Amino acid sequence: MSEQAAAEGVDAADVRRLVAALGQRLSEEQPHLTRVLTDKIRSISDLDLDQPLIDLLDASVDSNINTIVHLLINAIPVDRIQAPTAAVEYALRLAQRGVPSYSLVRAYQLGQEFLMTVVLDEAERIDAGRVPTLRAVRAIADAVYQYIDWICLHLLDRYEDERGRWATTSGNVASAMLQGLLRGDDSSEHDLEAETGYRFDQHHVGLVLWSRDQDGITDALVAMERISRELESRVGAGTPPLFSAIDRTTAWLWIGRGASAEPIDREVADVLAKFPELGAAVGLPEFGIEGFRRTHAQARDTFELALEAGDRIGQVTAFGDRGIALISMLLRQPGALQRWVRDVLGPLGAVSPAAARARETLGTWLDHDRNFQATAEALQVHRNTVKYRIERIGAELDERLGERRVDLELALLACRLLGDDLLAAPRPGRR
């Protein structure tokens, strides 16, 4: 590059400084670039998965942009770098989930196109002369291309190794047939029954099990398989449970209940108490093939809500728990839950200490059947204080307090589970 630049009267050092300056501009915009690119990649249907994978995608995008920025600013050759840890882990998780490798490659192609568009926009804002700017943009394009080509080859090797290993992992039974069945392909029903011994002409309870301890996940799947066996011995109908490891931290489970349509939430809580590092989301008992799909969908919706709630929700959460079904279904629609909660709470939906105290008081009062004394004891304030606060809340809510009590209770529950994030603007990259 230096000989060609010199031949055209362009100082190579000036081009190098211009490349570094453009790299620095990318660095300053990195949080914004990460958010935008993550959303673009989620437009690839195979990659718009559950929240843990979306969070890992965000980390992978951020680490890749950070690596490219350092390449540009510090003139580091591609052959001297290491693949970002988050990018490798994301590729491994996709392999564990059975996501096609071409979707991973497409994500990196989108990233390359996006970054070069940003570079061109930034180059137009720099008054450095036409030739030096063109030379700098060409140098950046070469560096980005080399990095994307190298990282894709590296990750595809890791992906294929992991895919082969995962295909033989204990507990990852008949994954392709199971995925087909969940997508509505009934043709694999009998094959899956023959392969696993699990029957579909019965009631099913679907569960999602996951590791809540991201730093101690080595034996998570082993513990999950133990849970599946113990639940089967307690509440099963004599056929083996259907267990499918989704990745190193997550598994899907179905317990066959035969003719029983009774929930198993209490039994799940008893078993999970021995495994405090794990969480469980539980669907309702449902019958037949369609019930098999429904109870699984319920467990997955509950799982998404539990992840959003974090420590604000219990170790075991059931779709049938008070308010969970409605809140989890609204959560699937971007912005729908926020809009509904704000509509129901009105002025109590503000993000402020006063509104938070009002929500706490009203929620406690409703939980205690509108008993002022019991509410005062729960909040550790005077009875008259509670009465005064409720009177003020009643004046602010108008008819809502009488006519929309159920809605109020559910909206307040949603706030307890999801915190002030629910009342603020939706976070980028979140469902």
- The string of DSSP codes covering 53-66 is HHHHHHHHHHHHHH
pTM over 0.75: no
- CB count within 10 Å of CB 337 equals 24
Please write the tens of the pLDDT for every residue from 65-121.
Answer: 999 999 999 989 998 989 999 999 999 988 887 788 999 999 999 999 999 999 999
Instruction: For the chain, give the percent of residues with pLDDT over 90.
Output: 43
From 328, 357, 374, the end of a domain falls on 328
Does 198 fall in a domain?
yes
For residue 228, being part of any structural domain is answered with yes
pLDDT band at 256 (very low <50, low <70, confident <90, very high): very high
Mark whether 122 and 219 lie in a shared domain.
Answer: no
Q: Is residue 428 part of a domain?
A: no
Q: Note whether 200 and 104 are same-domain residues.
A: no
DSSP state of 207: E
Host domain of residue 365: 336-422
Q: Answer yes or no: are the C-beta atoms of 72 and 20 closer than 8 Å.
A: yes
In angstroms, rounded to a whole number, what is the distance separating the alpha carbons of residues 124 and 122?
5
Any domain includes 295: yes
Residues 21 and 137 in one domain: yes
Spatial distance between the Cα atoms of 94 and 319, rounded to a whole number of angstroms? 27
Same domain, yes or no: 13 and 147 = yes
Number of structural domains the chain divides into = 3
Residues 188 and 92 in one domain: no
Identify whether residues 85 and 199 lie together within a single domain: no
Residues 133 and 181 grouped into a single domain: no
Same domain for 342 and 317, yes or no, is no
Distance CA 82, CA 407 (A): 52
Q: Are residues 361 and 317 in the same domain?
A: no
One domain for residues 355 and 318: no
Distances (CA, A) of 75 to 16, 17, 323, 403: 8, 10, 55, 66
Is residue 431, in this structure, part of any structural domain at all?
no
Q: State the average pLDDT for the chain.
A: 86
Is residue 7 predicted with pLDDT exceeding 60? no
CA distances from 385 to 40, 144, 358, 381, 396 (A): 51, 63, 12, 7, 17
Q: How far apart are CA 171 and CA 24, in angstroms?
A: 47
**Helix crossing, 30-41 with 101-125: angle to 10°?**
140
351 falls within a domain: yes
Secondary element (H or E) of residue 234: helix 220-235
Last-in-domain residue among 298, 328, 358: 328
Same domain, 8 and 153: yes
The domain spanning residue 29 has which CATH number? Answer: 1.10.490
Q: Which of 281, 312, 328 is the last residue of a domain?
A: 328
Q: What is the CATH number of the domain that holds 193?
A: 3.30.70
Query: Does residue 139 lie within any of the structural domains?
Result: yes
User: Strands 250-258 and 203-211: what pairing?
Assistant: antiparallel
pLDDT tens digits for range 157-205: 999 988 877 766 544 546 778 888 888 877 778 888 887 888 999 999 9
